[in-house]
Structures are given as C-alpha cells and as structure tokens.
A and B are shown apart, each in its own frame.
Chain A
Amino acid sequence: MSTTSTTSTTGTTGTTAFGTEEAPAADAPVTTARRARPGRGRKRLGPGRPVRYGWALGPLLLLAVWAAGSGLGLFDPRSLPAPWTVAGTAGDLVAEGRLQSHLATSAQRALLGLLFGVAAGLVLALVSGLSRLGEAVIDGPVQIKRAVPSLALIPLLILWFGIGETMKVVTIALGVFVPVYIHTHNGLRTIDNRYAELAETVRLGRWAFVRHVVLPGALPGFLLGMRFAVTGAWLALVVVEQVNATSGIGYMMELARTYGQTDVILVGLVVYGLLGLVSDALVRIVERRALSWRRTLAG
C-alpha cells in the first residue's frame, strides 16, 4: 500500500493515487515546494546574520529595569538613586568641572599603564615566542606573576615606589602586560609551522619572516590580549585610586562613600562602565579592520 503511494507522487503517472486520500501522498508535494526557496527547511547552525545595534540591546534593557524600579518606588533612593538623579548629579559635577579633572587624571594613569604594559607584554611575547631560550627564561616568571594577584603586590609597590603616580602606573602596567603576553605568545606559538617552511623556501630573512609571517599571524592573539588589557587597565585603576589617592574617579567615589553620596558613587560606576565599553569597542573596531582577511562565525 505505502509503496504505491510513494511512487505515484514522485512519478509521472500519479494522478490516480493522488486522488485517493492517502496521508503520504498529500505530504509529498509540500516538501518539494519548500525545497525551491533557498535555505528553507533546514535549521541553520551558525549564529546567523548580526542584529543591527544588537550591542546596545543588553545595556538599554538594564537601564530600563533600573528606571522602572526607581519609578515604581521599588528601590530605596538612599541605596540606589534613580537614573535621572544620577544624571542630574553627573550634570552638576560636570558644571563644577570636578568630573572632567578627575576623569583626566584617571585617563592619564590608565593610558600610561596601558602603554607600558602593552609594550612590555608584546616585547616579552616576541622574545619568548621566537626563541626557545627566550621562552625558557621568560615564560616561567610570567606564569608565576600571573598566579599572583595584582592587589597582593600593592603593599610591596608602595614600599618601593611610594604612594605617588609611579606606583599607580606600575600597578596598572603589571596587570596589563600579562594578558597581552599570554595571548600574543599563544598566537605566535600556534602559527602553522607550514608557514615557516614556506618562508624558508621563498628565502625570507629573519626580519622579513617576522614582518610577513610572525606579526600578522600573531595579530589575532595580540588583539584578543588587548581587549583583556584595556578592561584590565580600568579595573586596576579602581584599585589604585582607592588607595591613598587625592584625585581620579576612584578617589571621587571613595570620598563620596565617606559622605554617603550614593549618587556620586553611581556616577563613578557609570563612568567606569562607559570607559570600559568604549575602549573595548575601539579595540574591536581595530580588530575588524585589521583582521578583514578572516571569515569566522562572528562575520
């Protein structure tokens, strides 16, 4: 019974069986019609096309929940002031010029720390990635450093460098260089050895090899390290600015805590968040432009 109905629907002489009310006969033409449209009828396994402005969706949702909670009186304003109160406070701080000057000081520390940290991480990763001796000397100490939290180093750094700017920049740099080193080094080590062979057969010199093969090959790793580094720089900043600082966003927040100004603390938090988000976005833009040769799931 079933055999006759299948042959008749796919075959050419099927009019008689088509007329009968067999379930498989009714199903078959539907399947054929679906197949005509591209990609229908098959579930896509990759994440699909990017959502436009998708990056803003999560943060906006969070803001909406915060606003709704405050508007409905669910949050105690002393613990969590409303978004508009925080915005007003931010406006006042800007008008007084305090926010800008604190921000400038913080930004300077973060950038200096980032600069030294990235430079150190990059140089160490190159030395360690390009020579076995370099790796033997450098990799161990870096892994040890990685196991020691930056916070735990602060007492020592204060004794060595005092409580001034040097200590702050050094702490940030020490936090930054580790991810840059780890990811760049990993990027270097995972460059396919076949490319090194190719470089030998086209007779590239040591420097040309580094320029054409090693650096571009390690770039994805380096940029991933950079994303950890920029957010890491702001994190380290929070810590150093709440220890013996007299300026900076962290100091502003620490002072606000003493006076119970929750709104100022929130302004500081929002500023930190925005800084992290913006700097991460910057690295991602660089990433997209520099790695346009790749085709990945991210698109």
Chain B
Amino acid sequence: MAAHAGGLRNTAKNTAKNTAKDTAEDTAGGRATVRIEGLVRSFGERRVLDGLDLSIATGEFVALLGRSGSGKSTLLRALARLDHDVAGSGVLTAPDHVSVVFQDARLLPWKRLLDNVVLGLDGPSAEQHGKDALAEVGLAGRERAWPVELSGGEQQRVSLVRSLVREPRLLLADEPFGALDALTRIRMHALLRRLCERHRPAVLLVTHDVDEAIALADRVVVLDRGRIAADLPVDLPAPRRHGSTAYAALRGRLLGHLGVELGETAP
C-alpha cells in the first residue's frame, strides 16, 4: 500500500505518515483498501471534487453514480493517479496495484491480443496466465489476433482480462460498458461479476446507469457537486430482479438522488 496525496499541494510528510498508518492498519486486520478524506480537485476556479470522503473495503464492489459533470471521472482519475497537473488537496490512500478499465477498450493496435494482455508483465508465467485468462473470457485460440479483428464486446473483454491478470487490489472501471450494445452489456455484467468473485479485487465502477449499478454492486454511492450525496448498500436477494419491490424502492431512491423524480420516468 502506498499513500498518495494526489495533486501537488500535499506534502511528503503527509504521504509517509499515511503509509505507516495504513500498513499498521492492514496488519491489524483493517479492511479499507481505499480511504479518501477531504479530497479536493479543481480545474481553474471550479472545484470538481469538494472535500469528498469515501472508503472502500477489501473485496468490496462499489458503484459510483452521478450526473455528467458531477466529478465521477475526476475521482477515478485521482485514484488511478492519472491527474497530473491538476490542483488539489486531501488525503487519498490507495493500493499500488490498481488496474483501470476505460470506456474504450484501449488496446494497443500494434500488439497481438496476448501481448496486449501481458503488456508490462515479465516472464514466461505471465504468458501462461494471459492465455488462461483469455480462455476464461471465451477468447482461447485468439492470442495472435490483432485488436482490429475483434468486435467491440470482444475488445472490452480483452481489456478486462488485461486489468485482472495483474491481480490488482483495486479495479477502477470508467463506464466500461457504455459503448456496448444492450445484449453484450448484459453478458459483460455476468462476466465482470464472475471475474470479480474469482479475483476478489475492490472495485469502483463509474456508471450513469442505475440498473447497472444495482445489478453489480455491493454498495452504490451517488456523487453530487463534488461530494457523496448518498451511500446505499444493495442488500437484495441473489438474483436481482427488476420486478421486486425492494429493487424498485432502491432504484427510486437512487434516481431521486440523481434528481430524477419517478413521476417523470413512469409511463
């Protein structure tokens, strides 16, 4: 675990302190994989994240909902440490082993599938892992295909494999199924759920789809104006069916937090 103070303002002292604290907590059986306190990120005058607090337990699947512009991607990029040159402050503790699934599959077009999967990993065991993982998502035998030869859904599966083969402690997914058609999306939900149960990373899934959030997550967090506006556990019985009363109630509450009154959506 490494603490990381994100942007620029926080000090090395702070970082060191957090690392020590965090390691101690880990060995003592503490369960937070991600801990964020008072996180601020600004673009010019606009505070996109405004004193945000959030923690994610080890192996927990959290879905992050929010309207566009609510700061979802900014939070995810802060966790992925991709927010260079962004002004900000606050405490952000996240594991070193973080993987990101982007909205686009983002495969390197000049690398064959297997080489894309094991990008940055060394050794013959990595190749074998990569092959096994591709087989796990139904792409056995396609190791030497070029990305351009795959459909969008297949590319996104490869991108999932690339993230999970690294055994991350935290998986960040930024609307990973946004560009897929509805049928493929349902299949990808099942696949993601299955892979996460096998590999047990903590997951932060950014989405704008309430049903997707309820279908996948243990907990749904709603982001509004740079802060957590709602934090609701999803304790629905295993097959989460659209029809059930509990499902409808949760869905209604989440939509309410997103500023959608159910009266507006009802036919």
Q: Do A and B originate from a single complex?
A: yes
| Contact mask for chain B residues 79-118; partner A; CB cutoff 8 A; 1 contact, 0 none | 0111000000000000000111010101011110000000
For the complex, would chain B's binding face be called helix, strand, loop or mixed by DSSP majority?
loop
Measured between alpha carbons, how far is A127 from B110 in the docked complex, in Å?
22
What's the nearest-Cβ distance from chain A to residue B222, in Å?
A: 25
Complex contacts, B147 vs chain A, CB 8 Å = 293
Complex contacts, B104 vs chain A, CB 8 Å = 194
Q: Does A212 contact B (CB under 8 A)?
A: yes
B119 near A216 (CB under 8 angstroms)?
A: no
A203 near B108 (CB under 8 angstroms)?
A: no
Q: Which residue of the partner chain A has the closest CB to B84?
A: A200
Which of B98, B102, B148, B166 sits near A293, CB closer than 8 Å?
B148
A202 near B110 (CB under 8 angstroms)?
A: no
Interface size class of A (residues with CB under 8 A): 20 to 34
- Using a CB–CB cutoff of 8 Å, the interface residues on chain B facing chain A are 80-82, 98-100, 102, 104, 106, 108-111, 119-120, 146-148, 162, 166
Measured between alpha carbons, how far is A219 from B111 in the docked complex, in Å?
13
Complex contacts, A219 vs chain B, CB 8 Å = 110
Q: Which residue of the partner chain B has the closest CB to A198?
A: B106
Complex contacts, B110 vs chain A, CB 8 Å = 216-217, 219, 291, 293
- 25 residue pairs from A and B, CB less than 8 Å apart: A194-B104, A194-B106, A198-B100, A200-B81, A200-B82, A201-B100, A202-B99, A202-B120, A202-B162, A202-B166, A203-B120, A204-B120, A208-B120, A213-B108, A216-B108, A216-B110, A216-B111, A217-B110, A219-B110, A292-B146, A293-B146, A293-B147, A293-B148, A294-B109, A294-B148
Q: Does A84 contact B (CB under 8 A)?
A: no
5 residue pairs, one from A and one from B, having the closest CB atoms: A216-B110, A202-B120, A201-B100, A293-B146, A204-B120
Scoring A195, A198, A213 by chain B CB atoms within 10 A of each residue's CB, the highest score goes to A198
- Using a CB–CB cutoff of 8 Å, the interface residues on chain A facing chain B are 194-195, 197-204, 208, 212-213, 216-217, 219, 291-295
- Report if A201-B99 is in contact (Cβ < 8 Å); known contacts: A194-B104, A213-B108: yes
Q: Which residue of the partner chain B has the closest CB to A212?
A: B119
Complex contacts, B100 vs chain A, CB 8 Å = 198, 201
Complex contacts, B80 vs chain A, CB 8 Å = 201
Measured between alpha carbons, how far is A197 from B98 in the docked complex, in Å?
13
Q: Which residue of the partner chain B has the closest CB to A202?
A: B120
Measured between alpha carbons, how far is A217 from B110 in the docked complex, in Å?
8
Complex contacts, B166 vs chain A, CB 8 Å = 202
Measured between alpha carbons, how far is A133 from B146 in the docked complex, in Å?
35
- Report if A293-B109 is in contact (Cβ < 8 Å); known contacts: A197-B82, A198-B102: yes
Given A216-B108, A294-B148, 20 extra CB contacts under 8 A: A198-B100, A198-B102, A198-B106, A198-B108, A201-B82, A201-B100, A202-B120, A202-B162, A202-B166, A203-B120, A204-B120, A212-B108, A212-B111, A212-B119, A212-B120, A217-B110, A219-B110, A293-B111, A293-B148, A294-B109
For the complex, would chain A's binding face be called helix, strand, loop or mixed by DSSP majority?
helix
What's the nearest-Cβ distance from chain A to residue B16, in Å?
A: 21
Measured between alpha carbons, how far is A293 from B99 in the docked complex, in Å?
26
Complex contacts, B81 vs chain A, CB 8 Å = 200
Complex contacts, A194 vs chain B, CB 8 Å = 102, 104, 106
Measured between alpha carbons, how far is A237 from B98 in the docked complex, in Å?
55
What's the nearest-Cβ distance from chain A to residue B148, in Å?
A: 5
B99 near A195 (CB under 8 angstroms)?
A: no
Complex contacts, B82 vs chain A, CB 8 Å = 197, 200-201
Q: Which residue of the partner chain B has the closest CB to A197?
A: B82
Measured between alpha carbons, how far is A200 from B106 in the docked complex, in Å?
13
Which of A197, A202, A217, A295 sits near B119, CB closer than 8 Å?
A202
Measured between alpha carbons, how far is A295 from B150 in the docked complex, in Å?
12
Complex contacts, B102 vs chain A, CB 8 Å = 194, 197-198
Complex contacts, B106 vs chain A, CB 8 Å = 194-195, 198
What's the nearest-Cβ distance from chain A to residue B82, in Å?
A: 6
Q: Which residue of the partner chain A has the closest CB to B172?
A: A201
Scoring A194, A203, A217 by chain B CB atoms within 10 A of each residue's CB, the highest score goes to A203
Measured between alpha carbons, how far is A42 from B104 in the docked complex, in Å?
32
Q: Which residue of the partner chain B has the closest CB to A192?
A: B106
Measured between alpha carbons, how far is A197 from B147 in the docked complex, in Å?
18
Q: Which residue of the partner chain B has the closest CB to A196?
A: B82
Measured between alpha carbons, how far is A199 from B109 in the docked complex, in Å?
14
Q: Which residue of the partner chain B has the closest CB to A290?
A: B110
Complex contacts, A294 vs chain B, CB 8 Å = 109, 148
Complex contacts, B109 vs chain A, CB 8 Å = 293-294
